[in-house]
Structures are given as C-alpha cells and as structure tokens.
Amino acid sequence: MGHIQVNRHINAFILADTCAQLGATIGTASCVSGLSVTVLRRLLYDKSGEKRGRGIASAIFWYERANNMAKADACMFAAIFMQVCELNDFGTSYTPGNALIDSFKLYSERCRRDPYVSIDRAFLLACHLKGIWTQRSPSLLLKTCRYCTSQYIVHRRNVMSCNNPCIFCHLVKGYATDPRIRRHFPQPDPHTALQVHQPDLAAHYALRRAGHA
C-alpha cells in the first residue's frame, strides 16, 4: 500500500473515531470517513450507539421548523464551515470531513449556551451547503444581510424573496422583549457579536493550520 493510501486510511479512521466521540450516528460517521457501516459497527459502534440520534434526514426539513435561536446557531456553524472550506485545499490529508469536524469544534467553542446544532445536524447542513455526501448539488446558500451584514442561510429556491429572511434581524427585533433570546445570546447585540467573531475564528484556524499562529 502506498504512502498516500496509508495516510488516507489513517485520516478516515481518525475522522470516524472523532465523529463517534462527538456523538454522531453511524450513518454520519460512515459518510464523513468513507468507511463502511459494517467496519464502523465492528470497530466503534455497538447497537445502542447505532440507535443514538436521528437518522440522516433533510437539513432543510429541520432548519425550516427550528426556532430562531436554533436557526442562528445553524447560520453560525454554516458561516464557519464555508470559511474553513474556502481557506483550505482538499486532498488526501485534509478532506471535507476534516472541515466538518474542525468547523463543528469551532462552533461548539463559540456557543455560550448549549449548542442547538449537533454533529449530525452540522453534517446535514454541510451536505446541503456544499452538495456533498448525501447531496448531488447545493440547495442551501449563505447570504449577507443588507441591513445588518450578518450571514444567514437561505434555500436557493427562495433567494429572490422580497421579505427579509435574515434571522439575526428578527432576533435583534425580539431581543428586548424575549428572555429566551437574551438567555441564549447574553451579549447586548447578538448579530454584531456573531459577525465579529466568525471571520476571526476561521482566519485564526487557517493560520494555525499553516503554522503561523
């Protein structure tokens, strides 16, 4: 077996193991690592592990029914994931699976309250944003709000919608009156705080990978 193949296999096992540690279902771990469910069942998952979490469903289905805080969390993960993808070249040692794991960890570190986006939901969002793994083409898009400049998720078929779909504008509007929003975003201005920190995290991450930080 060649050196490149060995590295690819090692990376796949590390990815699968990390997915399992983060609580991913076996289906997610299989897609992300490229290893078969049979292999993962033998090495990492027992029967209770396989039943944990929800199966691979539609990210759009979940997103459209989520509350506004969960939507904001999804936007935050999506912004980090897209930047990590943009700032790294994919190859045998760094794959979209690595980008998913790194983005999920950055997102989790960023959350001040319990994250709404699990590793399985992050995986689904990544599928629909990039058109990878379970999806043949991207169906979700990140747009920049013309009012608050935050990045929010929109379905590609709704991209020309006349209404303002920016979730952060809605959160800012309800911030003074809704204690649930204030609990989840303890900062005085949720969209500004998110917007400021997202690029910093991704840039720091990219520099760290390149050995500059």
Amino acid at 100: L
Cβ-proximal residues to 192 (8 Å cutoff; 6+ apart), any chain: 148
Q: Which is nearer to Zn ion, 170 or 209 (CB)?
A: 170
Least Å distance, CB 169 to Zn ion, is 3
Least Å distance, CB 147 to Zn ion, is 5
Q: Which is nearer to Zn ion, 32 or 171 (CB)?
A: 171
Q: Which is nearer to Zn ion, 56 or 169 (CB)?
A: 169
Q: Which is nearer to Zn ion, 121 or 191 (CB)?
A: 191
Least Å distance, CB 31 to Zn ion, is 32
Least Å distance, CB 170 to Zn ion, is 8
Q: Which is nearer to Zn ion, 99 or 166 (CB)?
A: 166
Return the bridge partners of 142, or none: 153
Q: Which is nearer to Zn ion, 7 or 164 (CB)?
A: 164
Least Å distance, CB 194 to Zn ion, is 11
- Contact positions vs Zn ion (CB under 5 A): 145, 147-148, 166, 168-169
Least Å distance, CB 162 to Zn ion, is 15
